Structure 1
Amino acid sequence: MSDAGSNETDLSVRVANEVAAAKGVDPTDLDPLTAFVDLESVDTLVANSTERIRIEWSHDGLHVEIDSDDGVRVW
């Protein structure tokens, strides 16, 4: 699991790396994540919240979770 980054690019890279690792492929072989979720908005929500935030979605047969306390998880 990776820690959620402080900007959209870092968050995008972390999610892409975790999804790619779960699928056993290179991150560059994935469809752009922005086609599925607005990571800039997710990052803004996580960065500006005073409460714990958890966002989950399905991506290409995998479950993706971004947690403001625990980072990025994919399974």
Structure 2
Amino acid sequence: MQKATIQLETLTCPSCMQKIENGVKSLDGVDKKSIKVLFNSSKVRVEYDDEKVSIKDIENAIDKLGYEVIKSQVKDL
């Protein structure tokens, strides 16, 4: 398992949080209970099984929703 903090371009509305959360939750290998979208800091925190999904897959899912990923930090759990 890995834990990532993903910095996004500025989020403009609370509905953006829900959209991102639902999009990331739909990925196989993501710990659905761990997802936190932080509106004020425009960050996503998530834990995932790196044997099922990669950080690139998560970033691509966010990008497809229309949000720009600035950078990601990954830590082993």
TM above 0.5: no
Using structure 1 for the length normalisation, give the TM-score: 0.37
Q: Larger % of strand: which?
A: 2
Using structure 2 for the length normalisation, give the TM-score: 0.36
**Which has the bigger relative contact order, CA under 8 A and spacing at least 6?**
2
Q: Larger % of helix: which?
A: 1
